[in-house]
Structure 1
Amino acid sequence: MKAKYSSPQQFFRQRRMRLTVVLVILLLIYFGSVLLVNFNTFSSLAQIPAGLVWLFKTFIPNQHTTTYLGPIFYQLWRTLIVSISSTICAALLSLIFAVLGAKTTSPNRVLQLTVRFGASLLRNIPVVAWAMILLFSFKQSDFTGFLALFFMTLGYLTRAFTETIEDLDTEKLHALQAVGANYFQCVFCGVLPEAASTMTSWVLYMIENNIRDATLVGILTGTGIGFLFNQYFKSIRYDAAGLIVLLIAALVIVLELTSTQIRRAIA
């Protein structure tokens, strides 16, 4: 800072100036977008309270809603199974790819770059796009939803596992190599035991995330709790649709609390 700025006051003045410029640019972009789409900001904000009142009045379950519990719980269970199974299958493959793609464990540079490119490609395609692409080949089915979640999770976990392995202390790995351990012994005895806790946390996080994504995927694939929500919503059975939203939220909270306890146990 001494070489570039003559005083601390000049340094902070320059930072305030840059922040002001960024804010002005963002405001210009916002107002330009508003003009292009003819969006009235103030009237829209004024309608929010009335919209929230209508939402809470319409989507609150009532006594009649209990008649929908059977099919709702059945579809919620199917969605949970698809989410967990796709995550577990993706995690197993991601573990293999991560070992091959990490700088510290990759057998060669070409394989490392190939794995990294593939993981980036898979995870940067949204799960909704995966579902729409796979619909052409596998039609509306649970398997389509499974594959959509699987491919997105595979890319995400491969990248997360790769970074986890690279962040590990390499002293244990070097020690195993020094005593003559082969490649597989170094991986299974030096890398995976150290990374197991962090990797498990990533898997639990993806299960929680996939439960939420599976609802949206189900609307496209015509399966699971997403399809049932869409069906109730379109048939103006808002009380049943509201019950589905509450049950999904409750399920995600239960999974989050459970995963938190598991993380604490393995930490």
Structure 2
Amino acid sequence: MNQKVMQKRKWQSTLFLLIIIAVTYLSAVITNFNFVDGLAAFPAAIGWIISNLLITQESLERLPTILEKLNETVFMSIAATTTAAVISIFLGLMGSKTTSLNGILSVVARFIASVSRNIPVVAWALILLLSFGQNSVTGYLALFVGTVGFLTRAFIESIDEASQSSVEALTATGATYFHIVNKAVIPQCLPQMISWILFMIETNIRSATLVGILTGTGIGYTFDMYYKSMNYNAVALVTFSIVIAVIIIELISNYIRKVIL
């Protein structure tokens, strides 16, 4: 019996691998991608990066402006994430089977999370760009909407995984809904929620760079401006600044996670 199961799994794995190979081949044919030509162009691309993307003394003079725009991007990402987290906690409580007040609210909360999560942040920026124009509000709202969807889904799963014993104990004593949420649900889920919020701050800083190119704000706009003017030395400094900022935020987030988890 075990041998038949293993044989079946082996055939399934082989079939899955063949499907992946076929899809990859068809994708290459449709997009006219040539793997050999891509590899051949790789050394030239590396050489261009080494010769052009150099941080010079002239580009360093632009550092104060770059840091100012980088701070704008970082704080916009933090603001969008924290405000979205407040909304997501409410939607998570409504969407979770443990704390949902009724089926309609649960369906609505899950629907909002699904729609906002499955549309990329860049797409949200393009949609909002038509209404709000190129400004920081558009970037903030694009990050906010995308974050609400992701965090709501994450909070629903965290609440669903919480221990039911404390919830049942408080329910048996006649505790109100708000007491149950405040005393039994949130304390159990809070470390995971904070961890998800920190993760989204990191993600939004990366996303904000792309959003900034579209909305004409933050470090993304600065990168786009230098790139279009072919000032590659300044582009290198902007890129390096973004990388350093993301690494610092990630190190801080990892430290906080170790403390709370």
TM-score by length of 2: 0.96
% same residue: 44
CA distance in 1, matches of 2:256, 2:150: 21
Correspondences of 1:163-182 after superposition (within 5 Å)? 163-182=157-176
Q: Does 1:185 align with 2:149?
A: no
Q: Does 1:24 align with 2:25?
A: no
- Match for 2:106 among 71, 87, 112? 112
CA distance in 2, matches of 1:109, 1:169: 21
Correspondences of 1:236-255 after superposition (within 5 Å)? 236-255=230-249
- Match for 1:127 among 112, 118, 121? 121
Give the drift of 1:27: 2.1
Give the drift of 1:261: 1.1
Which letter does structure 2 place at the counterpart of 1:21?
L
Is residue 60–residue 237 contact of structure 2 (8 Å, CA) maintained in 1?
Answer: no
Q: Report Cα offsets for 1:82-121 as digits up to 9, x if no partner.
A: 1000000000111111111110001111111110111111
Which letter does structure 2 place at the counterpart of 1:265?
V
CA distance in 1, matches of 2:149, 2:119: 9
Give the drift of 1:193: 1.1
CA distance in 2, matches of 1:106, 1:37: 47
Correspondences of 1:15-164 after superposition (within 5 Å)? 15-164=9-158
Give the drift of 1:16: 2.8
Q: Report Cα offsets for 1:211-235 as digits up to 9, x if no partner.
A: 0000000000011000000000110
Which letter does structure 2 place at the counterpart of 1:60?
L
CA distance in 1, matches of 2:160, 2:5: 36
Which letter does structure 2 place at the counterpart of 1:218?
G
CA distance in 2, matches of 1:101, 1:34: 42
TM-score by length of 1: 0.94
After superposing the two structures, state which structure 1 stretch, 14-23 or 52-61, moved more: 14-23
Q: May I ask how many residue pairs the two structures share in their alignment?
A: 261
Aligned to 1:216: 210
In structure 1, list runs of 5 or more residues that go unmatched: none
CA distance in 1, matches of 2:221, 2:156: 35
CA distance in 1, matches of 2:113, 2:253: 25
Q: Does 1:228 align with 2:192?
A: no
Q: In structure 2, the residue corresponding to 1:227 is in which secondary structure?
A: helix
Give the drift of 1:36: 2.8
